[in-house]
Structure 1
């Protein structure tokens, strides 16, 4: 997810290649185990900030009714092609996660691959949580993961990463603000015929504390909040890198006014 829909225009074409080693099977296992633990019957699932739809398609393969939402229509175009090739149906909506609206409520909303870390202000997070609450049925659950503040500082920091393959190369410069936010400046070189096409991407991510996220979830009306770390059932530690949250929309008594989502 990005606050600028054009940010992923070129990246969409090579995103799956760059994410070949991403732990999609672990995200799916987390989803399956957590929904089972919460005991609800899940049929309709919203994949928020779905990217190129790898999670969406895997959910659809398992029989779920999937709505895939992303700010980038280029990402959604790749999702559509992959769904067609896989023989599954997903509903595609090009919307910003901070203000998305769906035609019918869902049993679960998922937002994996640290997509919520692209929300760089507390207001962005609050608005997104509010709209997720609105999109869920009573008893519905919200599952997502984010980068920890520790990872923003220790792993990204002011680091430079590089990849040099025969068909794709990149230089990835991280500019840390000294606190909890990092700017990723990426320069890609992608082979096209006998030449290499150069394009640039700029993305920002921010880490939030467990306490901040839990507060915003409760403010939006969620309860039964659980936080674990790094694809385990263990609570986060000081050096945890990826924080996983699950929260439930218990009933309508905690309902927030829709005006607070604007």
Structure 2
């Protein structure tokens, strides 16, 4: 995450349960498919805003040399345990995308799970893209995704969602801002014994148009920019909910 607003702290320990409908195996295979399709020969991966390590661990299990960072110490704690249980070695680091302190270059840089939308300052996003360009090896690839403008405005929008199972309940209330942002107000109730423990988190994502992303990438030095609808190799459309970018240096 780029801004630490109390995001993914206590929630980190329930994140995977809440996201159990996401097929991370298929997601990692899709990333590897893009890597192979673009004939990237490098094996070193930097996974930015890695969260609980769902992509990082799968890349490491597929034979890649993975370095991963996140701003949330709680997410990194879960990710480290997951790597230990999977018997893979990953260099996990506490880093902020607004102020990355890493030397060297990487053949593959990833930023998954709409983490780009969490960079709510467009100037900062351009700085991140400039950093990536400067730390990507020649011929390397930068793969990332965004929640589309359509999804954030039309599907999530001003709506409220709920989730309920035996152990955890949450209410997800959304409000559009006046500056192309959307605020997610999350209230959790986690069962502990015969009682429920409540905690709250607020998340903010910025709505980026695809044209904005392309503009920032080009201004950062990239010229080979491809966009795909969801986890396909199809072009995007007006109703694409997730846009995947494959950007080669």
Q: TM-score range by the shorter chain?
A: over 0.9
The match for 1:7 is 7
SS of residue paired to 1:8? coil
Give the C-alpha shift of residue 179 in structure 1. Answer: 7.1
Q: Structure 1 CA distance, aligned partners of 2:161 and 2:12?
A: 20
- Tell me how far apart the structure 2 counterparts of residues 163 and 6 of structure 1 sit (CA, whole Å): 21
Spell out the pairing of 1:1-262 with structure 2 (5 A cutoff). 1-4=1-4, 6-177=6-177, 180-249=180-249
Q: Relative to structure 1, is the Cα distance of residues 247 and 71 closer, same or farther in structure 2, using a 3 angstrom cutoff?
A: same
Give the Cα separation in 2 of the matches to 1:179 and 1:7: 20
Partners of 2:222 and 2:248 within 8 A in 1: yes
> Structure 1 CA distance, aligned partners of 2:62 and 2:12?
25
1:201 is displaced (CA, Å) by: 0.5
On the 8 A contact 2:5/2:202 being kept in 1, the answer is: no
| Distance (whole Å) between structure 1 residues aligned to residue 156 and residue 80 of structure 2 | 32
1:33-63 Cα distance to aligned partner (Å, 9 max, x none): 1111111203100111100001100011011
CA distance in 2, matches of 1:5, 1:86: 30
Report how far residue 141 of structure 1 moved: 0.8
> Which secondary structure does the structure 2 equivalent of 1:236 belong to?
coil
Aligned residues: 249
Runs of 4+ off more than 4 Å:
none
User: Offset at 1:147?
Assistant: 0.8
| Distance in structure 1 (CA, Å) of the matches to 2:9 and 2:16 | 14
C-alpha RMSD of matched pairs (Å):
1.4
| Separation of aligned partners in 1, 2:184 and 2:95 | 23
| Distance (Å, rounded) in 2 between the aligned partners of 1:156 and 1:97 | 25
SS in 1 for 2:131: helix
- Cα distance change, pair 178–23 in 1 and its aligned pair in 2 (3 A): farther
Is the Cα–Cα contact under 8 Å of residues 114 and 145 in structure 1 kept in the other structure? yes
Unpaired runs of 5+ residues, structure 2, are none
Does the 8 Å contact 2:117/2:205 carry over to 1? yes
CA drift at 1:2: 4.4
- Give how far 1:30 is off: 2.0
Q: Structure 2 length normalisation: TM-score? A: 0.96
